Amino acid sequence: MNRIYVDNAATTKPSRRATEVLLDVMENNYANPSSLHTPGQLAAVALADSRRKMAEILGCEPREIIFTSGGSEADNQAILTGATLGLRKGKKHIVSTKFEHHAVLHTLQKLEKQGFEVTYLDVHSNGMVRLDELEASLREDTALVTIMYANNEIGSIQPVRQIGEICRKHGVLFHTDAVQAVGHLPVNVQEDNIDMLSLSAHKFHGPKGVGALYIRKGIAPATLIEGGAQERGKRAGTENLPAIASMAAALEEAVEKMDEYNAKLTAMRDRLIEGISKIPHSTLTGDAVERLPGCASFCFEGIEGEALLLLLDQKGICASSGSACTSGSLDPSHVLLAIGLPHEVAHGSLRLSLSHENTMEEMDTVVQAVTDVVAYLRSISPVWADLQKGTKEYVIQ
């Protein structure tokens, strides 16, 4: 079957260049970068090269980058760093939002059990935090602000630069989960006033299981993994050099082609939004303007998102209801609840996340398939029947 893959926010296909670099390093540069012999030193050089490339793209120094096993680990380490440094000064308050990734939310919940207090800012119906609310939430004892760069379910892009500015003004550390942004938007830690940033290779056509944490010099990183002296003693374990080198190559490629890809992605995304918005009692979720070029996300009244996904899969369309991490659970997405959708509407969600490999023709196929499947599911839905009869009121007009 000819499949249409529109689940790139869950993971992307590794690019040819990323795969070639991965294989090449595995075959030809397999020594341990900590070894003193010549092959070891060649591996150390390749590691340093990767770090330098990534630093250049992010606008930081190589020594400000810690390689991790991915976005989740980087999020954990950043938040633990903010909490540990805060604790030393008696600061036990953290500010975040209601729609962060679970790697952030679950770390914060753990800290709450240890006596930290967390303020979860509203993200309002368009999936955006408000700067005045952020500023009002900051206190004398605020140790850290952690707010994502772009949301993985509804694609809304936060005003990161201004958030960073407010944090600087109040002397509070600012971490951003930029996993959905790096490689897709022009992220620069200096210009964006970021103290700590998480990224993950498999969201920009690199391999899975590798990522990085940018941590501004002068901020002492907390360690999650104790052991050897790798990553300046802040993240032990023999470096995954094939994946790290592949990630650096993938990021370089993503940045080189960003403008070209984003022009194509935006046009395809807007075709989806235009077509799918014609379905009655449906709504676009997330901000209409401040959204990732490749992300189109919707809710449909009167249907179950799970059923929609299964029927789309039968038609060869690989989509998602939102977060890959919550699929399989019966709870609706915390992101959709955070933007104020009631449970029954949040259940009828669909996320279509694109890559440059998709085509306009595919978008037309997807619009037709979604239109047909939503109509079919409504025809057998008791909830839809109640809505039609008027015994139940529509939430989405």
Ligand X SMILES: *Cc1c(COP(=O)(O)O)cnc(C)c1O
Residues forming the site for ligand X (CB under 6 A): 70-72, 75, 101, 103, 148, 152, 177, 179-180, 200, 202-203, 211
Min CB(103)–ligand X separation in Å? 5
Residue tagged active-site, from 60, 299, 318, 325 = 325
When the beta carbons of 58 and 367 are compared against ligand X, the nearer one is 58
When the beta carbons of 207 and 348 are compared against ligand X, the nearer one is 207
Min CB(185)–ligand X separation in Å? 13
Kindly report the length of the chain. 397
DSSP string, 147-210: --SB-TTT-BBP-HHHHHHHHHHHT-EEEEE-TTTBTTB---TTTTT-SEEEEEGGGTTS-SS-
When the beta carbons of 103 and 138 are compared against ligand X, the nearer one is 103
Min CB(75)–ligand X separation in Å? 6
3-state secondary structure of 318: strand
Min CB(51)–ligand X separation in Å? 18
When the beta carbons of 177 and 287 are compared against ligand X, the nearer one is 177
Min CB(226)–ligand X separation in Å? 20
When the beta carbons of 163 and 369 are compared against ligand X, the nearer one is 163
When the beta carbons of 43 and 105 are compared against ligand X, the nearer one is 105
Q: What share of the chain is helix, strand, coil (3-state, %, to 5)?
A: 45, 15, 40
Min CB(176)–ligand X separation in Å? 10
Distance CA 240, CA 68 (A): 9
Of 396, 389, 380, 393, give the one whose Cα is nearest residue 280: 396
Min CB(31)–ligand X separation in Å? 26
End-to-end CA separation in angstroms for the chain: 37
43: Cβ contacts below 8 Å, ≥ 6 apart: 29, 30, 31, 32, 33, 35, 241
Distance CA 377, CA 300 (A): 11
How wide is the angle at C-alpha 174 spanned by C-alphas 225 and 232, nearest 5°?
Answer: 30
The tokens describing 132, both together, are 């005045």
Which H or E run contains 299? Answer: strand 295-300
Distance CA 394, CA 274 (A): 21
325 in active site: yes
Distance CA 210, CA 70 (A): 4
3-state secondary structure of 94: strand
Active-site residue set: 325
